[in-house]
Structures are given as C-alpha cells and as structure tokens.
Amino acid sequence: MDDLNELKTRILAEIAAARDEAALEALRVAAVGKKGEVSLKMRELGKMSPEERKTAGPALNALKDEINAALAARKTALADAALEARLATEWLDVTLPGRPRRDGSVHPVSQVMEEVISIFADMGFAVAEGPQIESDWYNFDALNIPPEHPARQEHDTFFMNRAEGDARPPHVLRTHTSPVQIRHMQAHGAPCRVIAPGRVYRMDMDQTHTPMFHQVEGLAIGEDISMANLKWVLEEFCRAFFEVDEVELRFRASHFPFTEPSAEVDLRCSWEGGQLRVGEGDDWMEILGSGMVHPRVLEAGGIDPEKWQGFAFGLGIDRLAMLKYGIPDLRAFFDSDLRWLRHYGFASLEVPTVHAGLSR
C-alpha cells in the first residue's frame, strides 16, 4: 500500500499547485480518467488473490474519492479567485456623478393601444389575445365570410405557403382580430365583454395603409344587449379618448358579414385650420365599423343565438393615433427614425389612465 500513499501524496500536491481549470482538468484525466493512474491500478484487482482484493479494493476506492474531492475543492477555489480578480478590475466608484442619458420614448401606436385598453377596462372590458397566424376557418368561415368574398383572394390576404398535397386547411396572417372573439366565445361562453387588440395583415400600402397595422375589436354578449348599449359604449370611448366633454356620433347602415344589422360610425368634427376638433363643426369623419353579432357567428363560437345576442365593433389603432396626435403619414410609423419618435413619442413612465389623464 506504500505505493498508493506515494501516489496520493503526489497527485494531491499537483492538484493544490494547479493554476487554472485547464491544468486541473488535465490532472483529473491523468489521475482518475479512463486511462488514469488510479483507473489502471483498479484494473489490476482482477489479477490479485481474494485476500489482496479485500485490502486493495477499498483503498483504491477511498483514494479515488479523495482525489475527486480535492479536484472539486480546487476548482471552487480557482473560480472564487477568478471572481475576486474580476471584481478588483471592474469596480465602479458610485460617488462619481451619473452620466447624462436620453430618456426612452414610447411609440405612438403603443401609447394609443394602452389608452384604448385603459378606457375599455374602465368600462368593464377584459383583454383577449389570439395567434397572428390563423386557420382559414377562424379568419373567414367562423365569421360568416363566404368563399367568394374578395377578402379571401390572394390579392387581399397573406396566405401561408403549403407543400403540394398538404391536406391541412389553409392558414393566413390574420386580416382582423375578430378570430380572437370566436376563440374567446368557444373558451368562455356567454355572457362576455372583451376587446381584442393586436397586429393584423393585409395586402395594402399607401399613405394611409400598410401591410401590417393594428386593430382593436370589441365584443359584448348578453341576454338583452342592443344597439343602444353599443351607442353608449362608443360615445363614452370617443369622449374619453379625444378628451372632450361632448361628442356626437352618426350611425350609417352598412354591411359586414359578421354583424346584422351593421353600421358605419361617423364622428362630428371640424377641420378648421387643418386641426381636428372633435364634437364641433359641420364635418363628419368615419372612425369605425360596428353592429349586432350575426347569429351564425354566435353559433360558430358555441353560443345559442336564441338566448344570447351582442354587439361588436372594430377600430384602427394606427388611424386613431394619426387623428389624435396629428401624424400625417402612416408609413412614418415603420421608418425607425429616432428623430420622429422623439417628436411624437411619449415618456416611458407616463402610463395612461382614465382618472389621471390619457395623454401628455
């Protein structure tokens, strides 16, 4: 056993003298690796007599355990020493004056999204979310949009690529957030009161349209909900969003596949001097589409149209931002121009609330 004591003394001394983890790993391999000195000695156990194995076996196992413990302790010591050295070179004098930093800015779309959510939350609407890649059924069929509708053509909708022979239903980049309403009805049933804000996609690009934009759609379902409830909700929203005391809305008969009856909603305003003034003047500005939820849409959501009814509406977040904050070109929203963002942006800590004020 004297040779084991000499081996232990030498290996432990080499471990204690190791200066880095690379040297320590080399020592581990040389000592207890598959072809290490201890491992080779353990292979010799088969050549020993039973009496010799009873003594040599436990001794070799104890030696191996001691070496592994020494390796782990030395590795921890080296890591601690490296951290101490790093802390010594990366110290910071906290008594020095702070560096001036430019405050970040919140994008107008994000600001308006938070304003809209805050207003509807104050009226008891929850926020619902859904996937941006939707099946053809959720995006069109469940919303009573017929196969021949122009929105289902490739010149208007982004269809996801499918391999030839793929039998799965087609998927699209959602063209509105209305599929979220279907998913919410299926998951939670009636009654419900939710808004669905998010990104949507359509094949369009000019001064007032982009291929990707933002919408928020609202849904309220109950046993006795009517267009009168819809009118009150929209009036309260416009009053709070544009921060005026009085608003006047005009409902014009229209057609949407997912609502019946359907109505376009106009807001009385004035453009005198090129500045928008809400609630006064002789002009009317279209701001959203709305109506009573079509019975087929309720059925697609798993709700009995004989018992429940409700209203739905849709708002363009980007357009609301342009109107409220005087932004002339929608395309500037996506130019990544920091000068534009610093001009139109909002302080990151100014969280909009109805009671404290929505905007700066």
Domain identity same for 146 and 52: no
Last residue of a domain, one of 89, 121, 138: 89
Q: Let me know if residue 94 belongs to a domain.
A: no
Rounded Cα distance between 181 and 183, Å, is 5
Structural domain including 203 reads: 105-347
Domain identity same for 77 and 132: no
Residue 360 predicted with pLDDT over 60: no
Domain identity same for 123 and 271: yes
Give how far Cα 116 sits from Cα of 120, 131, 136, 180, 317, Å: 6, 20, 28, 17, 8
pLDDT tens-place string over residues 341-358? 888 888 777 777 776 566
User: Residue 340's domain is classified under what CATH number?
Assistant: 3.30.930.10
The length of the chain in residues reads 360
SS3 track for 224-262: CCCHHHHHHHHHHHHHHHCCCCCCCEEEEEEEECCEEEE
Q: Let me know if residue 360 belongs to a domain.
A: no
Cβ neighbour number for residue 64 with a 10 Å cutoff:
17
Domain identity same for 12 and 128: no
Domain identity same for 19 and 83: yes
pLDDT value at position 300? 94
Q: Let me know if residue 139 belongs to a domain.
A: yes
Q: Let me know if residue 353 belongs to a domain.
A: no
Under 8 Å between Cβ of 262 and 288? no
Q: Let me know if residue 95 belongs to a domain.
A: no
pLDDT tens-place string over residues 220-256? 999 999 999 999 999 999 999 998 889 999 999 999 9
Domain identity same for 84 and 115: no
* Joined tokens for residue 147: 């196969």
Domain identity same for 58 and 121: no
Residue 2 predicted with pLDDT over 60: no
Average pLDDT in the 259-268 region?
93
Domain identity same for 315 and 225: yes
243 Ramachandran zone, left/alpha/beta (phi>0; psi -120 to 50): left
* DSSP calls for 262-284: EEEEEEEEE-GGG--EET-SSEE
Under 8 Å between Cβ of 216 and 321? no
Number of domains in the chain: 2
